[in-house]
């Protein structure tokens, strides 16, 4: 596992890292516990990940916390997850302030319970002026839905005559995504060994390097982030060139 100084000496630190935080349920099950206990442990792993990113100068960290497909889960688990989100925000706002972290969100937030939206608005407002890491929580997020929302807006603009469809290019399209204010992630990490994208940032990770770690998310330590960035630094990024 590379140290912070080795990573910094190498020089190429991703500006934006995206993480599919997977394996909370299995982590709890391995211990004979209910799944929500795994989600609770996962909240502490978020802090490890944020700290590790900050120590090497990552600017943006997008965390997949709840997908559009996760609404299919039993009501009890969804309720527990939403409660945990609120608890995380209430408990960790002071930590975010202390660490100069700015909170942002992507996803169809209107689908979240009123209490979650209120707490999110509050934490986003409190941390708005922070200039350190930007932590972007993907909540009720689905990449296909994001792309469809962009297409809908673009169609409406074309219909209203404010957009000439022949001028539509990748840059303009990107400016209609939830992620318009952030650069594309250069590195995508998924924990728990699953080799799939599960509807996460499909447009934005076109050229991201993918690192799948076998560890379950609640076990994620600073060292795991450094390991993933170390792997990223070993990659030859060609972008279709030679």
Binding-site ranges for ligand IPE (CB under 6 A): 20-26, 64-67, 69-70, 81, 192, 194, 196, 198
Other Cβ atoms less than 10 A from the Cβ of 100: the count is: 13
Token pair 């050229």 is found at: 207
| 220 is a site residue for Mg ion (CB under 5 A) | no
The option from Mg ion, ligand IPE, none interacting with 211 (CB < 5 to 8 A, set by class) reads none
CB of 22 to Mg ion, least distance (A): 4
Compare residues 20 and 101 and give the one whose CB is closer to ligand IPE.
20
Name the token pair of 20. 């599919």
Please state the separation of Cα 122 from the chain's center in Å: 19
Residue 21: closest CA among 107, 138, 101: 138
Mark 41-74 as b/e (b = at least 16 C-beta within 10 Å).
bbbebbebbbebbbebebbbbbbbbbbbebeebe
Q: Give Cβ neighbours of residue 112 (< 8 Å, ≥ 6 apart).
A: 82, 120, 139, 140
> CB 73 → Mg ion: shortest distance, Å?
10
**Catalytic residue list contains 48:** no
Listed ranges 14-22, 34-42, 135-143, 205-213: which one lies at the site for Mg ion (CB under 5 A): 14-22
Among the candidate windows 17-25, 96-104, 112-120, 148-156, which touches Mg ion by CB under 5 A?
Answer: 17-25
Closer Cβ to ligand IPE, 2 or 23, answer by number: 23
Token pair 């689908």 is found at 111
Count residues contacting Mg ion (CB under 5 A)?
1
State the nearest-atom distance from the C-beta of 153 to ligand IPE, in Å: 25
Q: Is 219 a catalytic residue?
A: no
CA gap 236, 18 in Å, rounded: 19
Answer for which of 20, 22, 112, 224 binds Mg ion (CB under 5 A) is: 22
Neighbours of 187 (CB within 10 A): 24
Judged by beta carbon, residue 10 or residue 26, the one nearer Mg ion is: 26
Q: Rounded to whole angstroms, how far apart are CA atoms 57 and 3?
A: 14
Residue 200 binding Mg ion, by CB under 5 A = no
Residue 20 makes contact with Mg ion by CB under 5 A: no
DSSP alpha helices (H): ranges in 56-191?
75-98, 114-127, 143-160, 170-174
Under the binding rule (CB under 5 A), the answer on residue 184 touching Mg ion is no
With CB under 5 to 8 Å by kind, the binding choice for 19 among Mg ion, ligand IPE, none is none
Per the residue annotation, which of 24, 48, 70, 121 is the catalytic one?
70
Report whether 192 contacts 214 (CB < 8 A): yes
User: Any idea which residues carry the catalytic annotation?
Assistant: 22, 70
Would you tell me which residues interact with Mg ion (CB under 5 A)? 22
């Amino acid at each position: 596992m590379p140290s912070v100084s080795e990573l910094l000496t190498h020089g190429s630190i991703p500006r934006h890292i995206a993480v599919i935080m997977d394996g909370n349920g299995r982590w709890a099950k391995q211990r004979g516990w209910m799944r929500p206990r795994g989600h609770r442990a996962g909240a502490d792993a978020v802090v490890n990940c944020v700290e590790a990113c900050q120590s090497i100068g990552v600017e943006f960290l997008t965390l997949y916390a709840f997908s559009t497909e996760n609404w299919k889960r039993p009501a009890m688990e969804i309720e527990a997850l939403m409660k945990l989100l609120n608890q995380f925000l209430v408990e960790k706002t002071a930590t975010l302030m202390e660490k100069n972290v700015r909170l942002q969100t992507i996803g169809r937030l209107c689908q979240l319970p009123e209490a979650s939206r209120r707490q999110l608005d509050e934490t986003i407002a409190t941390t708005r002026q922070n200039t350190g890491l930007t932590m972007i929580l993907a909540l009720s997020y689905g990449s296909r839905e994001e792309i469809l929302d962009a297409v809908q807006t673009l169609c409406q603009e074309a219909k209203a005559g404010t957009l000439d469809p022949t001028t539509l290019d990748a840059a303009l399209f990107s400016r209609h995504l939830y992620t318009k204010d952030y650069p594309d992630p250069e590195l995508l990490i998924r924990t728990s060994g699953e080799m799939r994208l599960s509807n996460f940032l499909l447009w934005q990770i076109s050229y991201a390097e993918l690192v799948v770690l076998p560890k379950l998310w609640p076990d994620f330590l600073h060292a795991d982030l450094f390991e993933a960035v170390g792997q990223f630094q070993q990659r030859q990024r060609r972008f279709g060139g030679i």
